[in-house]
Chains A and B, each alone.
Chain A
Amino acid sequence: MNVDVLVTVVKAVVVLVLLLQVAPLMIWVERRGSAFMQDRPGPNRLGPWGLFQGLADAVKFLFKEDVTPSAADKPLYLMAPVLALLPAFTTSVVIPWGPDFKWDGQPYRFVIANADTGVLLFLALASLGVYSLVLAGYASNNKFSLIGSIRASAQLISYELAMTISVLAVVIPVNSFHLGDVVEYQRSHLWNFLPQLPGFLVFAVAAFAETNRLPFDLPEAESELIAGFHTEYSAMRFAAFFMAEYTSMAALSALGVTLYFGGWSLPWINYEGLGWRGVLIGLGTLLAKVAVCMFIFVWVRWTFPRFRYDQLMRLGWKFLLPVAILNLIAVAAMTLAGWL
């Protein structure tokens, strides 16, 4: 009993420490990456290649004045940034971060919550993220914020549907909701993105919409709505939204990698014979795959212009959802025929 709790705490601490590094690192990647794509130097003063810029930004956020508008709905206004962090950090409990390992002769899975409903739990927790956006916009008592949060609620619900259905198609051949089983399945079969390419593309597009990243950042839309739902926020409360955005990007990337790109595994490595080194290699592999996804998030942001609101809705309901449903039917038929 005690060892079980200890192992879970160790796993949770490892994952939390890793996730906390995402935001400062991504600030640097985003700013230097955008500068690289626009052929300008970007922040390059602090540390080698400007690497300490994230640290400087964090210190700045800590010491800035925290302003609350006098007409704001105070309890909701103060609660919204905290609610944003909650799903961003909790969703990663169902991600398998490496192969199974042994402690004291007992086998353990390298996943914090060994839940049978893994994928569904991830989607359920991620779907709670919309409340922070909606409440932030409502409580700020600002027209721009309110428009941003109304957009957020419609957008997140619409794309959640397409995403859930594309994820369900992965679950059918695996025959389990547990993400560890999804990885094990891909170790003995092709990686899922090949047989389920349409489903993967729907998932990828929906992931951009679910994390409010360009080309779907309509709740924020700085050229129309100032900063959308977080216009009125400053200092650490604004930084919390920032952190939540990058952390949920990382969690969603980890889910996508686990579902479609083999998770922590590489096809030519036999992890069982490696012991502790296998666990570290698995963790490193997953982090590398997530890092590639994160760079694609940045790459897309500085490549495509923002969608218009009606275009966003049309894409979600009239294209992505039918494709996801057709993919689901095709995968179910192929599984029944024994091809997957």
Chain B
Amino acid sequence: MELLAFLIFAFLAVASALVVVAHKNPVYSTMALVVTLFSVAVLFVLLGSPFIGVLQVLIYTGAIVVLFLFVIMLLNIGREESQLAGHKPQFFASILGAIVFGGLVIFTLLNVATTPAPGGPSTELVSLEGLANTLFKEYLLPFEIIGLLLLVAVIGATVAARRTQPGESTTGVAEPPKEEAQP
């Protein structure tokens, strides 16, 4: 039963990930990304950590990918034409990337067979309580620093987005046009 669920969702995750990179229409790619993230969330649940699975759906599928979709629709990005033709550097870069990725896959597959299985993380660690104890007791300082880093990033993004344009007052409200500007 569990193996069947794993096979179904592992297949879905890989297949939809391929659709994400291969499809020409960005909206279809985004929807395939939703399927990928959801399948990976199910895999987290099967691994015994429903909390991380649910958070994955809540944050990535439910919010971040919606923002992707929002931007794609707002900018009205159409179908992507074939970009490889006539762009030699990109073509070579993609071949190089494929070689590196293929090497990584082969390396991983060769090592999985020889390395003994680590037995996975203990259930105490991935449970809700274990996760909370690890995050908020053992690694409290790094956790807080990450939070601070994110706050700085948010403030930086806000400042960058609100940089006053010429002809705009610092209060964020556009100044009324000057008298001379009108015919």
Contacts and interface: CB of A to CB of B under 8 A. Distances in A.
Interface of A: 73, 76, 115-117, 120-121, 123-125, 127-128, 130-131, 134-135, 137-138, 146, 149-150, 153-154, 156-157, 160, 164, 177
B54 A121 contact: yes
Contacts of B66: 130-131, 134, 153, 156-157
B51 A117 contact: yes
B15 interface: no
B69 A134 contact: yes
11 contacts: A76-B27, A116-B51, A121-B54, A134-B66, A134-B69, A149-B73, A153-B66, A154-B70, A156-B66, A157-B67, A160-B63
Nearest to B34: A131
Interface in B43-63: 50-51, 54-55, 57-58, 61-63
A199 to B, nearest CB: 19
A150 B57 CA distance: 21
A125 B58 CA distance: 8
Contacts of B62: 123-124, 127-128, 130, 160
A88 to B, nearest CB: 15
Nearest to A123: B58
Given A127-B57, A131-B69, A138-B27, 5 more contacts: A120-B51, A134-B70, A146-B73, A157-B66, A160-B62
Nearest to B50: A117
A135 B28 CA distance: 10
Contacts of A115: 50
Interface in B31-45: 31, 34
Contacts of A156: 66
Given A117-B50, A117-B128, A156-B66, A125 B57 contact: yes
Contacts of B57: 124-125, 127-128
B95 interface: no
Contact of A153 (B31, B50, B69, B128): B69
Would you list the 10 A-B pairs with minimal beta carbon distance, nearest first? A127-B62, A124-B57, A124-B58, A153-B70, A120-B54, A117-B54, A124-B54, A117-B50, A153-B66, A121-B54
A135 B57 CA distance: 18
Contacts of A154: 70
A134 B58 CA distance: 17
A138 B50 contact: no
A271 to B, nearest CB: 28
A135 to B, nearest CB: 7
B110 to A, nearest CB: 37
A156 B70 CA distance: 12
Nearest to B51: A117
Nearest to A176: B128
B69 A116 contact: no
Given A115-B50, A131-B66, A177-B128, A150 B74 contact: yes
Contacts of A177: 128
Contacts of A149: 73
B114 to A, nearest CB: 37
Given A125-B57, A127-B57, A138-B27, A116 B63 contact: no
A111 to B, nearest CB: 15
B73 A116 contact: no
Contacts of B67: 153, 157
Nearest to B58: A124
Contacts of A127: 57-58, 61-63
A30 to B, nearest CB: 28
Contacts of A76: 27-28, 31
Contacts of B34: 131
A211 to B, nearest CB: 16
